[in-house]
Structure formats: structure tokens, C-alpha cells
Chain A
Amino acid sequence: MGRGNLITLIILAAVIIVFPLLLRSPYYLRVMSFAGIFGLVCIGLSLLLGYAGQISIGQAGFFAIGAYSSGILTVQFGCSAWFGIVVGIGLNALTAFLVGIPTLKLRGHYLAMATLGIGEIIHIVLLADTTDLTRLVAWIGEIVGYEPAALAATLAPYAAMTGGPSGFGQIPTLSIGPWKLEEPGHWFYCIWFFVFVAMVLSLNMIHSRIGRGLRAIHGNEQAARAMGVNTTPLKIGIFMISACLASIAGSLYAHYVTFISPSTFSINESILFVVMVAVGGMMNVWGALAGAVIMTVLPEMLRFFHDYDVLMYGLILLFMMMFVPNGVVGLLQGLFRSKNTERTR
């Protein structure tokens, strides 16, 4: 995975371990925990954006599937939280697979729009309350000739599970063996442990045959195919991985916040993920992590950000894409590189 990355990983591990010891304020730990959750989504998105050259504007939908799988399974069925996380991953992999097959075969902007559509559909389904679902069931029942009232009656309790527009709460917190995660510090370690593992795995993957194949796709898909890279399965695979990472983040979010509602998983959230990756740097997984941290901490520091957040995100995204397309990390790398080359001269 390269010496530079190994050193950076060790530094990351050290920072993760030391941070809660130095800053005991639960507020900072909370902000950084959220940064970690978003970072997990962004690592997946950057694999897709920076390495496969495909954009997804529906990550909030995958994030939502993870969160709702965990939430519903633990609250309604009393399952273990870890089981909820695994089911979320499975559901997301399946969704990504089904969406990815038709759209990733095509070139063009199909994936962008298809993911935007999937994100919106998931949002609409979560927003819909019991009456909407009952009417849909009744309509399907009428067509297939089934007794609609009976079907609606059996399905009604399931419809109420998502809680409609107001969502639901009282999601139990995660527990590792006999320990329950309750302190902010514990949560910080748990979330960043996931981030660290995701980081190690992604870096390994990027520096393998798969990663080189992906870079080749980004460069020129036809050329990659001519060189024997099997492009479609690679693209679908990376799309599924990004959806799974978003799912894990969503599950962690649900157990951490213990309350979820559809407003958290709107199209704006998907765009925010793209902004985070763009700010940090699309061509680098480190950039995704940096972007997630910057874009979570910055609004906390700048007061006026909250009233104008959407416009601010737009302006930042526009500025970064026009003038700093490689992001903050790309900029820093460029600075270091030019210094090094000057020295060797």
C-alpha cells in the first residue's frame, strides 16, 4: 500500500487514540463522531467518484436503508443491533446491484440520474404514511384479484414501522459483548474504528489489481477494456462497496442518535456527501476523510453557516470544482511534491 500511506495510517491511528484523551469535552467528541460517520460514506463515494469516475447523488438513500434496517429490526423485532447492520449491508448491496447493472453498462450520466432517482424513491417511501401504503396495496389487490381489505389489514402494521414523516426513536445503542456504548468517548472509538478499518481495506484495494483496473476505467474506459480490464463487473462491484459503506454509516448513525426521520436522508444530504468528497479531493480516499471532517467542523465553527447552509455548500462546491478540482488534499500533495522536486534539483 506504499510507505506514505502506511505512515499516514499510523498517524491516523495515533490521532484517533489520543483525541478523546486530550479533548474530554463531549461536544467535540460528538462533532468528530459525526465526522467519522460521514467520513465512512465519503470513503465509499470517493472510491466511486475518484477511482471509477462515476458519480452517485443518491448516497443518502443507501445511508437511509442502513439506518432504517438497523432501527426497524432492533425496535420492532428486538433483533441484535449487529444483525441489523448486516441486514442493512445485504439490502444495500442488493439495491446497488440492481441499479448498477443497467446504468453502469451505459456511459453518460445515467448513473448520476439513476442514483438521484433511487435516493428520491427511498425518501418518498420513507415519507409515505400508512394511508398511502394502504391505498397502494388496495390498488394492487384490485388488479391481482386478491381481497384488498384483508391484504391491507395484514400489511398495515408493517407500514407503520417507518413512522412516516415523523420517523421513530428509542433505537437501542450498540453493545460489544457485555459492554454497552454509552459514553461519547466509547462511541468515538467505535465509529473511528470502523473508519480506520474501511480506510485500510480501501487503500489495500486501490493498490491492488482492482484499483489499477479502476484507474484505467477513469482514464479511458475503451482503452481499459482493450487491455483486458473487465470494466462492468468492476464498476458494479465498486458501486456496491460504496453502498455498503454508506449502509454501515447509516446503521451507526441510527444507533448513535437513537432517533431517525426521513428529513435526515433527503437529496440535500446526498449533495452534502458530494461536497465533502469534492472539498477533500476526489482522486484520493484521504481527501474524502479530510473533506468529511472539514465540512462537519466548519459549519460548527461558523455561526452564519446554519442560516445559509445550502447556498454555502453550493458556492463551496462550485469554487472547488472550478479552481481546485483536486481538493484540499490534492492541493497539499501538489505543494509537497513541488518542494521535493526543487530539493532534488
Chain B
Amino acid sequence: MLSSADILQYVFSGITIGAVYAMVGLGFTMVYNSTSIINFAQGEFVMLGGLFGVTFVGALGKYGLSPHVTVLIAFLLAVGATTLVGLVMEKTAIEPTDRLTIFHYGALAAISFWLIHYVMGRSSAVAAVLAVLIAVGSWFLFRNRTIESMRNPTVLQLIIITLALSIVVRGIAMFTFGKDPYFMDHFVSEEPIRVFGATLLPQTLLVLAVIVGVVVLVGLFFGFTLTGKAMKACAFDRDLAKLMGINDRWMILLSFCMSAFVGAVAGYFVTPITLMDYDRGPMLALKGFGAAVLGGLGNGFGAVAAGFFLGILEALGAGLVSSGYKDAISLVILLAVLFYKPSGIFGSAEAARFKEF
């Protein structure tokens, strides 16, 4: 039979992974509130935060900085880079537009470069010249054309676009970082702390502190800044907010960047404990969505609480039942919630019924 120390141990390991689900769930909520779409690429932000983090920590290691400074600078770079990915995603594929913008031509140039250099095996100079030529050529062809299909994209179209974005990001990550999982040193001491017979890693405490910090910051942002209040207004009623002079496009862009930011923070801090590889995204997205639904879709704090709940339940299930079914546990909970109380624990039934598709 299991002792209470064993159960406490499972709870501790559940907290770490629950923190990631909480952040992914929070990201889902932000984007859902401002656009009413589910961003399937949400899990990829966590993966990018972790892998960028490993890369930057490794690159900064050469300069002989003190470990804490390295971790801090790498954190800023990794989170910044991931947020940039979120921004480019929104600008190229999500934002309604009737013209091709600089972002489209840039993406076209990048894809052409990749195809010519890596896939067809030409030298990087040739590839760069050709890529620029292709981008400029397509600008010349399309500069006066209107693009009907992206002027008013349907929600179904946008969902499939985010699905495609997640595949593209994952594919690029696979070729850049490889298929093997990455390690990173713990940011703080690796000496475990003993609590009632169970052991707790100091890094887990750090993860908890950071997550609490992020949640408090996000709460302050939505409660006390004008931009945060404007975003809430957009979530409540987009058209009404527009009439009041709120720039809704800017709010959508901001929500994408913020969701990328929170995902990247989680990814960066848990990588020392859970390791990170290119293929983590979809499962994290699925469970983060579970957290978002469990917390009442659209309710950020509900999503955070539900994320920790799912993580702990999953760790307990893996320990008590079987690790082979670990991933199935939260999925079964997700389906059970959809079945019995689709409005989530913290949401009202009203909210679930009136969300538009």
C-alpha cells in the first residue's frame, strides 16, 4: 500500500507539469477571448521557449558570465524570440487582410531559402539571391492584387490555419534542433529538499514562484491598465469595443504575443526538470485545452487552477495506476468534463452556450 510520503511525491511531480498545463491553458484563454479561435499552436510556444532557452544558455556559456546572469539573459532572449514567433504567426496567417504584407513576402523568402538551400542542396549564397528574387518578383506581381480569401476568414478556416502553423513550427523545430530531447542544468541548486518524507527539487519551487508571478502580472495587467481593460472589452463584445475606439486588430496581436510569452516562460523554466524535445507541443496543447475547458473556457484563472489540478491528477494516476496510460488520464477527464459540465468547474452554463463558432 502507498504511504502518504509517496502520494506527496507524486503531487510534487504533478505540480511541475501542472504549471505547464496552467500556462498553456492561460494562453488558450487569452487568444480565445480576443479572437474566439482555439490556437492549436499553443503547445509549440512551450516547446520553443524550452529549446530556445537551451540554445541560448549554451551559446552564452562561452562568455564566462556567472550562471545566474547567463540564465537571466538567456531567459529574456528565449522568451523574446518565442514572442516574436507568435507575432509573426499572427501577422502572416491570422490577421484579416486584403493585401499581402511585408510579413508574407518575408515568409515566402524564408521558405524559398529553406527549400533551395536545405532541400535542394544549393549553396546558401545562391539560395539567398534566389529567395530575394522570388520575394521581390511576387511583390511585383501581387502588389496591386486584393486577396479575397483572407479578407474575412471564417472561424473554421482560422482553426485549420493554426493547426497548419503548429505543424510548420514543429517541422522547422525538428530540422533545427533534431529529434533528441535536450537537457539543461537546473537554475538553482539540485540538492533536493526533504518535506515529510518526500523530496522536492528547488527548481520546482522556482517554477511555482515564476508561475505565480506571471499569473499576478497578468491579473494586474487586465485589472489595472488601460490596454488590459481594452482587451477585456474586446473579449466581451468586439463590435461594441470597436465603436468605443478600441483598435481590435492590435488587441488580437497583443493577445497572440502574450500567449506566446506565457507559454515560453513555462517552457523555459520546466525544461531543466522535464527535458524538452520538438514533439511536445500537440500533447501539451491538448492538455492545456483540457485545463482551459475544465476551468470554464474564457476564464483565465480557472484555467490556471485546472491546469495544476490536471497535472497533479495525472502524476497520481501515473504513480498509482500505470505510466502507460498517463496521457490518457487527462484526456478522459477532458471528455468527461465535456460530457457532464461543458461549462467547466468555474464557468457558467450560459457562457458555454453563447460562445460563437
Identify the A interface with B (CB < 8 A). Answer: 49, 53, 55, 57, 99, 101-103, 105-110, 112-114, 116-118, 120-121, 124-125, 127-129, 131-133, 135-136, 139, 221, 267, 271, 274, 278, 282, 304, 307-308, 310-311, 313-315, 317-318, 321-325
Contact = CB atoms under 8 A, between A and B. Distances in A.
Contacts of B163: 57, 271, 274, 317
Interface in B318-344: 320-325, 327-328, 331-332, 334-335, 338-340, 342
Contacts of A317: 160, 163-164, 167
B353 interface: yes
B282 interface: yes
Contacts of B334: 113-114, 117
A146 to B, nearest CB: 16
A124 B328 contact: yes
A314 B355 CA distance: 28
Kindly list the 6 A-B residue pairs having the minimum CB-CB distance in the complex, ordered from nearest: A311-B171, A132-B324, A314-B167, A318-B164, A317-B164, A135-B322
Given A55-B160, A315-B168, A318-B164, A109 B37 contact: yes
B124 to A, nearest CB: 18
Contacts of B342: 102, 105-106, 110
Report which residue of B93, B111, B323, B328 has the largest number of chain A beta carbons within 10 angstroms of its beta carbon: B328
A148 to B, nearest CB: 12
Contact of B338 (A103, A132, A310, A323): A103
- A interface SS class: helix
Contact of B160 (A129, A267, A304, A321): A321
A310 B170 contact: yes
B321 A139 contact: yes
A125 B323 CA distance: 12
Contact of B38 (A99, A113, A121, A124): A113
A121 B331 contact: yes
A317 B328 CA distance: 28
Contacts of B339: 101-102
B167 A53 contact: no
Contact of B325 (A116, A132, A318): A132
A125 B352 CA distance: 30
B320 A139 contact: yes
A107 B331 contact: no
